[in-house]
Amino acid sequence: MSRYYTALGIQTIKEAAAYRTNFILSFLVVLIPLGGQLLLAKFIYSGGYQIGAWKLDQLLLYYIIATIVSEFFVIGTWWDIQNDIREGGLNYHLLKPYSYFWHNFVVYYALKAVYTIFAIIVAYLAFIAVSGNLVPQIKLQSIIQFIIMALIAAPLSFLITFYLSILAFYFTDIGFVMNFLGILLPFASGNILPLDIFPRGIRGLLLKLPSAYLVYHPSCILTGNYAWRSYWQIVLEALMWLIVFIMITQVAWSQGRKKYEAIG
């Protein structure tokens, strides 16, 4: 079965690479708001002020990493799954000897991998333009910490996306989920502002939500904000969210399949 997933991944990467102009354009869409954030940060720091405990270089790096990470570990509803359930295309997958979850996981991250390569190139150029440095100051320890965290964040973000998408079993239109997520997530995940500068009560809540483990914490890890001790605590909390979503997704999937009528 692993050969099937590998072949599927390679095929998806090839297809995605054919639309590289579209990928570059769609990442530029993300990069322009990022440009605004960077200019605002530079403007504030030029007057001798500081946002929270962040030094300017560290904050610029945080914003760039958060932008890339939020694209890779994005939460939303996935049109393919939604459409399979609504139009009855799920029949085709259920008859095949593979897991529908892992099939979508491979396609999802193969697409994301291509997108992220373009994102890193464009964001790196933005980093040089804004900071004037050629090499971002990222420690080896931070890279190791980030890789371990990414191994939890990737399945977690896909599990949440999968869960939200299979809500199509229960609702005729789940477009509103995407509408609200599009507005709330950049804020709640730390993409717009680092979560540690929020007022205490809100900060306490946002830091414990799953969205923080997908953008804020991974970005802080790469900017070198965590010692090993506090890092392991965050990894543990992320693992707990992963287990929670494995359970609720399994329940939603098995109940949804019972409700599913193969005619769409």
Q: What are phi and psi of 61, to 5 degrees?
A: -65, -40
**String of DSSP letters for 47-106:** TT--STT--HHHHHHHHHHHHHHHHHT--S--HHHHHHHHHSTHHHHHHSSS-HHHHHHH
Of the CA atoms within 13 Å of residue 8, those in its CB half-sphere come to 16
Q: Note the Cα 3 to chain centre separation in Å.
A: 26
Going along 144-242, which residue ranges are E strands? Answer: none
Choose between 146 and 198: whose C-beta lies nearer to other proteins.
198
Fill in the amino acid letter for 217: H
Closest distance to other proteins from the beta carbon of 194 (Å): 10
Choose between 94 and 197: whose C-beta lies nearer to other proteins.
197
Choose between 196 and 237: whose C-beta lies nearer to other proteins.
196
Closest distance to other proteins from the beta carbon of 76 (Å): 14
Choose between 187 and 253: whose C-beta lies nearer to other proteins.
187
Choose between 33 and 264: whose C-beta lies nearer to other proteins.
33
Count Cβ atoms below 10 Å from residue 68 Cβ, excluding itself: 23
Tokens of residue 241, six digits: 């969210």
Chain residues binding other proteins by CB under 8 A are 22, 25-26, 28-30, 32-33, 35-36, 39-40, 42-44, 47-52, 173, 175-176, 179-180, 183-184, 187, 192-193, 197-199
Closest distance to other proteins from the beta carbon of 35 (Å): 7
Closest distance to other proteins from the beta carbon of 42 (Å): 8
CA distance linking residue 35 with residue 64, whole number of Å = 9
Closest distance to other proteins from the beta carbon of 188 (Å): 9
Choose between 36 and 97: whose C-beta lies nearer to other proteins.
36
CA distance linking residue 68 with residue 34, whole number of Å = 10
Closest distance to other proteins from the beta carbon of 179 (Å): 4
